[in-house]
Structure 1
Amino acid sequence: MKIKLILAAAKSDPLRKNDPFMPLSLAILAGAAPEHDYIYCDMLWEDNLGFDEKVDLAGISSRYTAENTTYEIAAEFKKRGIPVVLGGPQMSSVPHRAKKHADAVVVGEAENLWPVLLKDFQEKKLKNFYVCSPYKFDARGSTVYQDFLYPDFKKNILPKRSLFKKKYNFDTLFAVRGCPIDCDFCSVSSIFGKQYRFKPVDHVIEELKSLKSRYYYLLDDTVLGRPSSYDYYLELYTRIAGEIRPVKFWTGQANLNAAADEKGREVIHRAVNAGLLYAAVGIESINPQTLLQSGSIKKMGINTADHPLEKIQENIRFMQNLGIIVSGWFVIGYTEDTIETYKDTWEFCKNMNILPVIFPVKAMEGTRLYNRLLGEGMIDLSARINVINPKIPSAMVFPVLKKIIKEAYSLIAIIKRTVFYARIYRKQSPREFIEKTIFAFILQIKLRHGIDLSKDDFYS
């Protein structure tokens, strides 16, 4: 069977022609049912989707910012009589709305559902929804196949990376899924569950050895773990440092709580020995009340008795002193925030030599934040920034953000941060010093393009 797989992206996405990371989800599906013939399109890099190619089925995965684009693509295929399956995080959040545009919708993790769906399709028994969730799906009279168990990763499904025509700067893989933190603005816990699920270390090592790039991105929601996952990561990073040759450098998302814990600090040390160069840290806010309100305080390595901002700074410095480049990711627009919060956040980042990534909070459907604010009448469904905050005039947000980004990612600011990290790398070998310093510089250029707010319909 010939199947076209498309990763949808909005035309205004700032990562268009700039995304350095290999997308993994659809390659995993192809690896889960490798007997079929697949054609892959990543809309961040490809404009011609080949609607007139003869295929039996079209599968479209949607980024959060690409819902409308996804429906437009689906309509083009259906116009040509090609059945359409939709999936991905956004479609999982609005499955019944998505079903109006597709023959079937995949909700949640798809690698165990995909072979079942394809078998049903070939037997002309395709159901409306294919669901992976421990909670009973609200079918509303539709036909449903539901797997109540999350994938356990005992079977090593190797993503079909041969699908990719483009050579990405970073390969990608995952070792752990699930997140117990459950921040109210985030959908990760609702899709992947609140308990960690660990891929066997042998499987991770096998996959790493198959990667061709010198750089990779570990997709776990926190690559430094939490107390319940420290032992796993200690073993994993020890194995990577000892077995992966030549050394590969890598990046990932991280929390700060490991830096405040003795065992967690050992995880960080071993991650660095295993090649960790850069961590995208979800700091979320410099306001302790906002951290409490969103639930993010659980990942900061602080408690209400601490001087919270000082502790956050201490945890960041611990990581930086080991040579980890840190970017701080922030969402602004909660009750305690004002327009000055944007400027204060940038000053915090500047003083800490961290790369700022600042966004207005957007309540995504399916999250606890969205449901709470909708009930309080604080969601504007027609607005680019849908969270209503009387203290932050929406017309002021993007001009302020653009000014901050222009200053934060000016050539002078980038050079200053590069010099900051280069001084840390001086203690390492000449080759590592040169390679890591160049990496620090190029990373900031890439990040600047990735958070470009110059397009009027960005974040719509």
Structure 2
Amino acid sequence: MKVDVIVVYVQRYRKGHELDFVPPLTGIHLAAITPPRHRVRVIHQQLQAIDLGTDADLIALSFFSGFAPEAFRLAGLFRARGKRVVAGGPHVTYDPEGTLRHVDSVVIGEAESVWAEMLDDAEAGRLRPVYHGSPCDMKGLPTPRYDLLPPRFFVPRVVQATRGCPFRCSFCTVPTLNPGFRMRPVDEVLADVAYDRFPHWWQRKVVWFWDDNLTINRPYIKELLARMVPLRRWWLTQASLDLARDDELLALMEASGCIGIFFGLETFTAESLAHANKRQNRVAWYSEAIARLHRRGIAVMAGFIAGFDGDTPETVERMADNLYTIGVDVPFL
């Protein structure tokens, strides 16, 4: 059976993108766990045109809520051409009933446990409306199909070492989408990190860890980073700011080639942090934590939220000044 996996995207710019920074992991991961008797293609809409005339037997759509209208538009166009369409991802997990008005079948939750079954059923003509995926134990996952990526991603090597996060911030979907905290065997992660069949030197050099909170389990991350040192990679990820209190971890991050970390700092207001149940953040610690990372040559990317219940126009206006004060390199709002 021929399967097209489409990672749905809505262009930010009228002319679209000629290049992009990092691909989502979903498409190339689904391709990797697809049984070999099926032919699979992965299309990233942020860089590739959608071929409505494809000869695929099955169209699989993955998308976030912000891209749901585009996903439903595509589903309608494909179904009008007689294609069967399935869907999964965060939006589908939260609104399967609404999604089923537009597609033939949905996956609720993580796909690993049901993907092969869904393909078997589609091939046999017995596709069910709903498949419930259970949390994956993360052992034995194959290397993503990096060979199916278009060459225009600056950092094509996305690797997932862990999944989930033990914190329960009130605004975050991770605890329900990826429950618990699970780790892949270090040897399997290193196999992905060592993959180097990319055309450009920087693509062979840089790794993006596609993790919810990479550094939570200290023994695990310290073993992984120690074993990464000989590979001489540069890497980025997202984590919690409390890692900056661990000098041994910081030393291993520097030695293994960490060049940037994304943190969800969210706000400069302690009351808003408490309201969001963001108990791992301390506003008074922001400046010192960032300085510790900078001393190791690690850039800091930070996400902030405007619109907490306690926010005022003044707190939002002060946010820009505070960003400069604490030394954030790349802010996101």
The TM-score normalised by the length of structure 1 is 0.68
Tell whether 2:193 aligns with 1:205: no
- Tell me, yes or no, if the aligned pair for 2:291 and 2:327 is still in contact at 8 Å: no
Deviations 1:193-245 (A, max 9, x none): 1x21010000011111113421111111223x23xx00000100001113x1x
1:236 counterpart (205, 218, 224)? 224
Query: What amino acid maps onto 2:301 in structure 1?
Result: S
Q: What is the DSSP-based 3-state SS (H/G/I as helix, E as strand, rest coil) of the residue aligned with 1:197?
A: strand
Q: What is the DSSP-based 3-state SS (H/G/I as helix, E as strand, rest coil) of the residue aligned with 1:332?
A: coil
Q: What is the DSSP-based 3-state SS (H/G/I as helix, E as strand, rest coil) of the residue aligned with 2:305?
A: strand
Q: What is the DSSP-based 3-state SS (H/G/I as helix, E as strand, rest coil) of the residue aligned with 1:28?
A: helix
Residues 321 and 296 of structure 1, relative CA distance in 2, 3 Å threshold: same
Query: What amino acid maps onto 2:99 in structure 1?
Result: A
The CA distance in 1 between the partners of 2:31 and 2:75, in whole Å, is: 20
Query: What amino acid maps onto 2:276 in structure 1?
Result: S
Residue range with higher mean Cα deviation, 155-164 or 10-19: 10-19
Measured after TM superposition, the shift of residue 267 of structure 1 is 1.6
Q: What is the DSSP-based 3-state SS (H/G/I as helix, E as strand, rest coil) of the residue aligned with 1:282?
A: strand
Measured after TM superposition, the shift of residue 129 of structure 1 is 1.2
- Structure 2 gap segments, 5+ residues each: 198-203
Measured after TM superposition, the shift of residue 291 of structure 1 is 0.5
Q: How does 1:289-304 map to 2 (within 5 A)?
A: 289-298=271-280, 300=281, 302=282
Measured after TM superposition, the shift of residue 54 of structure 1 is 1.4
Residue range with higher mean Cα deviation, 312-321 or 231-240: 312-321
Measured after TM superposition, the shift of residue 73 of structure 1 is 0.4
Give the greater-gyration-radius structure (CA).
1
- How many residues align? The count is 324
Measured after TM superposition, the shift of residue 16 of structure 1 is 4.1
Measured after TM superposition, the shift of residue 166 of structure 1 is 2.5
- Tell me, yes or no, if the aligned pair for 2:31 and 2:42 is still in contact at 8 Å: no
Q: What does residue 380 of structure 1 align with?
A: none
Measured after TM superposition, the shift of residue 180 of structure 1 is 1.0
Deviations 1:129-160 (A, max 9, x none): 1122xxxxxxxxxxxxxx4xx11122132211
1:44 counterpart (43, 46, 49)? 46
1:221 counterpart (196, 208, 212)? 212
- Structure 1 gap segments, 5+ residues each: 133-146, 303-308, 360-460
Q: What is the DSSP-based 3-state SS (H/G/I as helix, E as strand, rest coil) of the residue aligned with 1:297?
A: coil
Measured after TM superposition, the shift of residue 102 of structure 1 is 0.6
Q: What is the DSSP-based 3-state SS (H/G/I as helix, E as strand, rest coil) of the residue aligned with 1:185?
A: coil
Q: What is the DSSP-based 3-state SS (H/G/I as helix, E as strand, rest coil) of the residue aligned with 1:296?
A: coil
Q: What is the DSSP-based 3-state SS (H/G/I as helix, E as strand, rest coil) of the residue aligned with 2:279?
A: helix
- Tell me, yes or no, if the aligned pair for 1:349 and 1:356 is still in contact at 8 Å: no
Q: What does residue 151 of structure 2 align with?
A: 166
- Tell me, yes or no, if the aligned pair for 1:28 and 1:111 is still in contact at 8 Å: no
2:295 counterpart (301, 309, 321)? 321
Q: What does residue 86 of structure 2 align with?
A: 85
Measured after TM superposition, the shift of residue 21 of structure 1 is 0.5
1:312 counterpart (271, 286, 290)? 286
Query: What amino acid maps onto 1:45 in structure 2?
Result: L
Q: Percent identity?
A: 25
Residue range with higher mean Cα deviation, 338-347 or 13-22: 13-22
Q: What does residue 426 of structure 1 align with?
A: none
Q: What does residue 5 of structure 1 align with?
A: 5
Q: How does 1:308-387 map to 2 (within 5 A)?
A: 309-359=283-333
Measured after TM superposition, the shift of residue 34 of structure 1 is 4.1
Q: What is the DSSP-based 3-state SS (H/G/I as helix, E as strand, rest coil) of the residue aligned with 1:27?
A: helix
The CA distance in 1 between the partners of 2:159 and 2:12, in whole Å, is: 27
Measured after TM superposition, the shift of residue 287 of structure 1 is 0.3
Deviations 1:364-385 (A, max 9, x none): xxxxxxxxxxxxxxxxxxxxxx
The CA distance in 2 between the partners of 1:17 and 1:341, in whole Å, is: 37
Deviations 1:82-103 (A, max 9, x none): 0000111122221111111111
Residues 334 and 297 of structure 1, relative CA distance in 2, 3 Å threshold: same
Query: What amino acid maps onto 1:4 in structure 2?
Result: D
Q: What is the DSSP-based 3-state SS (H/G/I as helix, E as strand, rest coil) of the residue aligned with 1:169?
A: coil
Measured after TM superposition, the shift of residue 165 of structure 1 is 2.5
Measured after TM superposition, the shift of residue 329 of structure 1 is 0.7
Measured after TM superposition, the shift of residue 327 of structure 1 is 1.6
Residues 291 and 231 of structure 1, relative CA distance in 2, 3 Å threshold: same
Deviations 1:152-181 (A, max 9, x none): 122132211221123421110110001111
Measured after TM superposition, the shift of residue 31 of structure 1 is 0.8
